[in-house]
Amino acid sequence: FCGSHDGEIRERTYNEVMSLRSGLGIDREIHCLGYVANEDMSALYSGAVALIMPTFFGPTNIPVLEAWALGCPVLTSDIRGIRDQVGDAAVLVDPRSVESIAGGIYRLWTDESLRRTLADAGHCRLSKYTPDDFRNRLIEILEEAKDRVRSKAD
């Protein structure tokens, strides 16, 4: 896994994970890269079995879009916002449940067909993130807001 472990909570979590990894004897299977420069991310996504990103934050998470762009299937949180972002193009898990996350990882690890299906669905979903689509959705939102303001004024 990669990412910064700066800050008290992240550092404590990182140290716990490293201790657990060592205790389980899986040091060679779990690679902890720390911070990875942007220019190196595409190689990681391209070589990954999946992006595993259980999170409580969203709704638009850039790593999901990056993974889709590089054909990498995604596992992320089944929470409002993220659920809307990914639709059926990701394995959705309860970010508070170790069992849910582990089950999702197992499904991705053991089901190559699922990984291909999710990668294809992600690529299709990513195609909706064009500047024209964004502009059109923004115009629709603004027009709807304008109509609501007018109807309340009448």
- Interval 25-54: pLDDT, tens: 998 888 888 888 889 999 999 999 999 999
What average pLDDT score do residues 78-106 get? 95
How far apart are alpha carbons 107 and 73 in whole angstroms? 12
Confidence band, pLDDT 50/70/90 cuts, at residue 82: very high
Q: pTM for the full model? A: 0.78
Q: Residue 86 in contact with residue 110, Cβ under 8 Å?
A: no
- Give me the domains of the chain, ranges plus CATH numbers: 1-35 (no CATH), 39-128 (3.40.50.2000)
How far apart are alpha carbons 139 and 141 in whole angstroms? 5
